[in-house]
Amino acid sequence: MSQIDPAFLRGLTRPRLARSHPARRDVLRLMGAAGAGLALSACGVKGQGGKEKVSQSDVQKYWAGKVKSGKLNWANWPGYMQDDQATIKAFEEETGIKVTYKEVIQEMGPWFGKIQAPLAAGQSIGFDLMVMTNGIQLEQCRQLGYLAPLDLSKLKNFQANAGEPYKNPSYDPGNAFTIPYESGVTGIAYNTKYVKEEITSIAQLFDAKYKGRVGMMGDSQELGNFGMFLLGIDPEKSTKADWEKAAAKLRDQRDQGIVRKYYTQDYVDAVSKGDVWMTMAWSGDVYSLTSPDVKFVVPKEGGTIWTDNLCIPKTADNPVDALTLMDWLYVPENNAPLTEFINYMPPIPSTQQIITQHAAEATGDEKKDLTRLSTSPLVFPSEADLARLRHYRRLTQAEETEYQKIFEPISKGS
């Protein structure tokens, strides 16, 4: 456990109203199959013997002879670390491992395009740790054998402190290659100035009485998921027939004029101003809005949880040091200051208790901000909300193409 002063660890804790994370999520989801598919077909990507399941012998073989070097290079997204890198400084002081941290990931498609050639050739990409969103690019890295199999016996803090929804995710069974960094939720935001009933159901997004006042996401997978949730279909277990049923409901919603617009990220301004009264939304957007009129709910039918994951390239020069940092981040006292800056869902439930304690010790605006964070269901969903959340379905390249053919025309008006 870190012995650094908690006030130092907290670093910059003010919620930031203009966040980069939701915007880049939109871009990576929209790129989806197109970005990864083009990279794979044009560059002739070859694998490194990837496996769906990892055996203990695979783990032992990879980690045999590898030792701590005292340094590591970490690739991450912008806005995912305190400006003064307080968390990294605490890790360095406690472990003696020097971290070179770079915010070089802007979108998943281009990032995959940058790293795939050296990884395919068995060469270092210059980073020992990277953060990747669950989606087609992470799936390609898994299938092509580009990621180091994790030695879970060395991730004792993860085993002890990670919440159950973050263990054994459908996109990485058994956490064979990844552990979560931060997560967010796709649900419904609504403006209580205009909506005079409690919103609890996806069906209300399809209610004709809100004609022209509903926003939906233009992203095909987000849109398709909500269509399936409405029909009681679990997207993680869905088939092509399920997609077609959901698409029919979504087309009908569109053709009735219920949907005002299919949004990327600009729904935030629309729902706050009342251009739309309710809309599909990302939890982090609504939290950062800080508006008392706009509420966020995980609908009773379900919502989507998306996760940015820590993973180690198979060709990493310093994998033991990277694994050490991964596990260190799962100490609640180490994770809390990071969550206080990022304002997204941490994978450690007990982080909430630490932030509550920090709020009690703080004064002024910091106390107000930390209290809001520690009590926010957008950052710390209830067990009931968590139980209703589902991950994106893992799609092969062929499935992704078919999925896009079914759902993309809905938001395009065809």
Identify the CA nearest to 389 among candidates 187, 157, 100.
187
For residue range 143-163, what is the model confidence (pLDDT) as tens digits? 999 999 999 999 999 999 999
The per-residue DSSP string of 85-124 comes to: -HHHHHHHHHH--EEEEE---S-HHHHHHHHHHHHHTT--
Q: Calculate the average pLDDT of the chain.
A: 87
Answer whether residue 345 shows pLDDT above 90.
yes
What are the structural domain ranges in the chain? 6-183+307-378, 186-304+394-408
What distance separates the 2 farthest-apart alpha carbons in the chain?
Answer: 66
Quickly state the pLDDT bin for 6 (edges 50, 70, 90): very low
Superfamily of domain 6-183+307-378 in the CATH hierarchy: Periplasmic binding protein-like II (3.40.190.10)
- Backbone phi, psi, residue 393, to 5°: -70, 140
Return left, alpha or beta for 96; rule: phi > 0 is left, psi -120 to 50 is alpha, else beta. Answer: left
Answer whether residue 35 shows pLDDT above 90.
no
For residue range 398-409, what is the model confidence (pLDDT) as tens digits? 888 899 999 999
The answer to pTM > 0.85 is no
Q: Same CATH topology for 6-183+307-378 and 186-304+394-408?
A: yes
Compute the half-sphere exposure of residue 229: CA atoms within 13 Å on the CB side of its CA: 30
Cα gap 67→70, rounded to integer Å: 9
Amino acid at 412: K
Tell me the two tokens of residue 9: 């660890």
pLDDT at 41: 34
| Coil/strand/helix, residue 68 | coil
Q: What is the CATH number of domain 186-304+394-408?
A: 3.40.190.10
User: Is residue 83 a contact partner of residue 76, using CB atoms and an 8 Å limit?
Assistant: no
Answer whether residue 13 shows pLDDT above 50.
no
The answer for residues whose C-beta is within 8 angstroms of residue 337's C-beta and 6 or more apart is 6, 9, 10, 11, 13, 82, 86, 87, 90
